[in-house]
Amino acid sequence: MSKKRIGVIGGATEKHSVYMKQLLESMGVDVLLIDTLNFPEHVDFSFGDKLKYQNEEIEDIRSFYVRTVFYNEPPYYLEEVKEGKPIDLDGWYSNYTAERERQAFLGSWIRTLALEGRTVVNNISTFQLHYLKPYQIAILRKQGIVLPKTLVTNSKEELLKFRNEVKEVVYKAVAGGTACRKMTDEDWKDERLDKLKYAPVIFQDYIDGDNIRVYVLNHKIISCNVINTDEVDYRGYEKSVEHVNIPEDVQNMCIKAADICGYTFTGIDIKRTTDNRYVLIECNPSAMFLGVDYRTGDNIAGQLAEYLIKNG
């Protein structure tokens, strides 16, 4: 009998995808690494009566880990434009359309896996919550989860009112991908505030306290650490990572938040204030975990791999 197969959706050379493939193989299963980065140039996906990858059926694969789906936006390499390299601007509309087709297809293909009753961690229909950050805040808040006081706006007037409602303001991107920073005196100057007319921004009450990263898998907490840092946004500035116990009601809050977002597996950022209140910052649908595993030995990767094997 051939070995059980698990799917890893990500990139052929992407770190977490490659790590999970090797780990799962060491646990006795075969792994199909589904490379979304090189689609459509070098990799074939098909959707007919059955889904196919590289022209082969994947009916036997009942369990998938979705690390990442690579989307290109915009369709040009702007760094190359900056360097003055010639690009086909006459073809911008075709390139834009091709990328839209690519995203529509990959999105449908991966969503269909779950529709067919396979385990998909996480189902990518939930990924949009990471991009629609104000909406994630809204659905969590609606269910009673405590988050920082928030204003998302392109209005200078609203922001100036918000400034009076909180002690200190931090700001970050609506779709994510930038560092969270405190508003400085420079930031409060008119010429800077006028930039809100280019794009809206998330403003929040700055929650002073410890950064805690909690991983939830299948309604259970599998790792919980405090991340010591001197920065507002700890990412890239982790001084140390240490195990921490959080009260049962806060554990339940994390599990509930994961459920609300529809994430089987998630890395949740929470803050613990000096007066011992816990405030949830965000649930991440494709949270990285190798750094935490390396520093703590929590073996998040192993627990995720076991879940995939058991549910495949």
Binding-residue total with Mg ion (CB under 5 A): 2
Nearest residue (CB) to ligand ATP, 88 versus 208? 208
Choosing from 282, 283, 289, 303, the residue that interacts with Mg ion (CB under 5 A) is 282
Q: Report the phi/psi class of residue 309: left, alpha or beta, with left for phi > 0 and alpha for psi in -120 to 50.
A: alpha
Cα angle for residues 104, 129, 265 (degrees, 5° grid): 100
Helix, strand or coil, per DSSP, at residue 245: coil
Tell how strand 240-243 and strand 220-228 pair up: antiparallel
Contact status: 177 vs ligand ATP (CB under 6 A): yes
Indicate the residue among 176 and 302 with the shorter CB distance to ligand ATP: 176
Residues 204 and 222: their CA atoms lie apart, in Å, by 29
Among the listed ranges 34-42, 108-116, 173-181, 299-307, the one in contact with ligand ATP (CB under 6 A) is: 173-181
CB of 9 to Mg ion, least distance (A): 20
CA distance 33 to 60: 14
CB-based contact 306:241 (threshold 8 Å): no
Tokens 């059955």 belong to which residue? Answer: 50
- CB nearer to ligand ATP: give 87 or 152: 152
Distance (Å, rounded) from C-alpha 65 to C-alpha 2? Answer: 21
Q: Is 204 in the site for ligand ATP (CB under 6 A)?
A: yes
What is the nearest approach in angstroms of ligand ATP to the Cβ of residue 67? 15
Q: Which pair of tokens denotes residue 304?
A: 């995720």
Among 14, 35, 282, 293, binds ligand ATP (CB under 6 A): 282
Q: How far is the CB of 51 from ligand ATP (least distance, A)?
A: 29
Q: Given the complex with ligand ATP, which of 262 and 302 has the nearer CB atom?
A: 262
β-strand pairing of 201-205 with 240-243: unpaired
Cβ atoms within 10 Å of 221's Cβ, excluding its own: 17
CB of 261 to Mg ion, least distance (A): 12
Reduce the DSSP state of residue 9 to 3 states and report it.
strand
Q: In the bound complex, what is the minimum distance in angstroms from residue 285's beta carbon to Mg ion? A: 10
Question: Which of 62, 172, 214, 289 forms a contact with ligand ATP (CB under 6 A)?
Answer: 172
Residue 240 backbone phi and psi in degrees, to 5: -160, 160
10-29 binders of Mg ion (CB under 5 A): none
Residues that bind ligand ATP (CB under 6 A): 130, 148, 170, 172-173, 176-178, 180, 204-207, 211, 232-234, 269, 271, 281-282, 284
Residues that bind Mg ion (CB under 5 A): 282, 284
